[in-house]
Structure 1
Amino acid sequence: RYTHFGEGKYDESEAAIQELLTEAGSLTTEKVVENPTYQTYAQTRETYLGYARMESLASPEKVLQDVTTLYTTPAIMPRDQFALAGTWQITPEYAAASVGAKLQLNFSSKSVFLVARPKTAGTAKIQVHVDGKPQFFGADVVEGTVQVTSDRLYSVVELSEPGRHTLELTFPEGEIELYAFTFG
């Protein structure tokens, strides 16, 4: 039997579903309707920031699990990877940014979302720059800043069309836990 976890491979999943329905007698070829064709583009994969599922860290330093560590960014950001700058603590589930830390992300997408929460009670702030400028803000960005008040998904970037860009997040106030980036 077919199994698949996560995003992607939609055509394969659809074919497996139709095969099972045909086996069960619930689907005949007369009822099959072809899927419409959509314009597609390469999109950055979901990016996890905790070491248990982290795959795309571009910072040259090794991840020291559960230890506060100083990280730096590389001179050139590789495609679809992220880098940390400043003081961070990386746990199995999240990366905790200290005040003044930064995160750079090279991405290809139209929208960028971030799962985050303040490390302690109160509000943590994230300043957002895309391609070096405060622009292309998502729904949760007001005047270039996200107010992180609870654990949830934050809309950070919204572009008019998909493309390759560099996102830089700066953490000027309050310690914060970052779990994952998703793209749309």
Structure 2
Amino acid sequence: MRTGTAPEVPAPRAARWPAAVRWLAAVPWPTVVRPLLRTVMRRRPAPVGPSRPDQVRALVAVLDEAVAAQRPADEAVAACGEPGPVSRGAARDCGQQSIALHRLRARLQDLGTTDPDLVAAQARAARLLAYDLWMLRASMNLAFTARPVDRTETARLRLNGLGRPADDLRRLRDTLRAELSET
């Protein structure tokens, strides 16, 4: 017995597709897709980095500041090696110089040098600054130990500054500065 309703007839397959699919099916592919692919696949030129003289200038600028910061750091290390009790001012000076050298080392490592020779010079300068930082820390540890012993006191009294690595950093800066003046 029929109730008067027709059986449900499925809609044609194309009518069930979303509008975007119907549009893609109707698009003339060669005339639309090829220009889009050309636009997407177009190679962009590689970004051009700073020139070698610009990189040398940036490196020399940071090294100038590092060499200038070495003098107070050298004095702070030498103050920790003075005979007698070490003043609190020496500890403050070591701390301030340590902060300054940490900041300079971070700036040095953030330079975008790409030239292999300059990358090597940058790494060497970073190692020399790391030595300066170590020297500041070691001198503070020797000067402000909780339990001074004869061996520690003897080592402390031999402190007289940053030493040869400070000279090496100056020579590295001077070499790079000479290269800059030649160009």
TM category (shorter chain) comes to under 0.3
Higher strand share: 1
Q: TM-score, normalised by structure 2?
A: 0.22
Larger Rg: 2
Q: Which structure carries more relative contact order (alpha carbon 8 Å, separation 6+)?
A: 2
Higher helix share: 2
Q: TM-score, normalised by structure 1?
A: 0.22
